[in-house]
Amino acid sequence: MENDVLQQAYDPEAFRRQGHALIDQLADHLSGVMSGMGPVLEYREPTQEWEDWETYLKEGNPADLFPKMLERTTQVHHPRCVGHQVAPPMPLASLAALLSGVQNNGMAIYEMGMAPTAMERLLTDWLCRKAGFGPDARGFLTCGGTLANLTALLAARRARGRDDVWNQGYSARHAVLVSAAAHYCIDRAARIMGMGSQGVILVPVDSEYRMDPAALEVAYTKALEDGLEPIAVVGSAPSTATGSYDPLAALADFSEKHGLWFHIDGAHGGAAFLSEQYRHLVRGLERADSVVIDGHKMMGMPVLTTALLFRNGADSYATFSQQAEYLLGESQEEDWYNLAKRTFECTKISGVFSWFAVWKHYGEGVFAQYLERQYHLAREVAALITDRPEWELACPPDANILCFRYRPEGLDGEATNQLNQALRQAFLEEGRFYVVQTRLKGEVFLRTSLMNPFTRVEDLSALLALAEQQGQAILAKGN
């Protein structure tokens, strides 16, 4: 009996039937969702959701599984899904991910991923060129910005730290200098590396949440006085909360002056170098030692796939090498095709299939067009918010991230915080929009990431109108 079930599980004809049915369901789903039909999500409390799925596992019809999955997840392709920094993936990219899932080659060594290894070299070489790096640059793909940033900081420690941590263990008091508005994964990476809380030096930001270069010099001097050994400066391109780009050229100057590794967390918006219109935002990126770019943010890829680029390719090989060598034992060829020597992963997914399929079918211009459309939309929406007297914008947008709040006349700071928290919860439970919130300098703001190329100014205008309606109802109820 078990053998019969196993044969059914691997039956190609069953796969054909199930696959055709699923693709039809997904195409219909995308057609409806991208047109704005239905809610963005139907929120349920965690315990209720768990119990519903437990019941389905025991009693549900297997034929209902895929429709149920589609119904019960947040619809990232919906024009009014403006919450987190996750792209609605291009359908072709998702099909390529299906191919990767079927082939299931763990491409850490060349024989298990011949085609994707070559494709990954072509893709990352292209990204390095577009970033402004020279012929010695190299890169690879890894699973997410958190892992990529950690890998880059390990390379920084190997290149700039005085101790050979890989062979001798950790004894130094290393530190990294990073914006106070940077993504928390930088703090997490430094702590994982054993630097502790004192090794994460948060540099103050200016009024628009960009790292202050003058404060950077002060922070560096204080670190030395405290007996710390700074090894790296981390610039945000942009920061997560507000989408503000750090002054990368100034950070590059500082890093060169003090002999520090210059890393750029460009997970969200590093791809701006692909756009003539917005390339100025990353001026100085070409001088970085390493750069992170998430494909699943501003390049329309499925999660998780991230490019980590090194201006000096040898640094990427040295990170996990005991002898800091990257040549084959019996060849003078560069061993670029055995990716396990440069990544954390011992089993590496073929995420490049999605990038390569879109790149080949639509050309490199599709990436710039996507980013430009979303960045331009944020500027239009910012103007819309500024024109409304009861709304406050945290700062003008650099990217496609906007932080704003509803502040009717007469409300003090804490009452405004409570109102915007209540608005966010009301949106979540009501389901027509998905927005998130953040806290900036102690004040609560609604936060949107305009990731969807089908989101229009009219959608955000409707969001503001609904917030005003709900806000007044909340205030009236409180009185």
Express each pLDDT in 194-210 by its tens digit: 888 888 999 999 999 99
- What is the predicted pLDDT for the residue at 321? 62
Burial of 169 (0-12, 13-18, 19+ CB in 10 A): exposed
Residues 131-160 have a mean pLDDT of 92
| Overall CATH class of domain 105-358 | alpha beta
Check: CB of residue 289 under 8 Å from CB of residue 315. yes
Q: What is the average pLDDT value for the chain, to the nearest integer?
A: 91
- Sign of the C-alpha dihedral computed for residues 325, 331, 333 and 335 taken in this order: negative
Give the whole-angstrom CA distance, residue 432 versus residue 428. Answer: 8
Confidence of residue 20 (pLDDT cuts 50, 70, 90): very high
Does residue 405 sit in helix, strand or coil? strand
- What is the predicted pLDDT for the residue at 98? 95
Q: pLDDT, tens digit, for every residue of 44-87? A: 999 999 999 999 999 999 999 999 999 999 999 999 999 999 99
Residues 6-32 have a mean pLDDT of 94
First to last CA, the chain: 67
Q: What is the CA radius of gyration of the chain?
A: 24
% residues pLDDT > 70 (the chain): 95
- What is the predicted pLDDT for the residue at 228? 93
Does residue 234 carry a pLDDT above 90? yes
- What is the predicted pLDDT for the residue at 180? 87
Does residue 330 carry a pLDDT above 50? no
- pTM of the entire structure? 0.93
Does residue 308 carry a pLDDT above 70? yes
- What is the predicted pLDDT for the residue at 329? 40
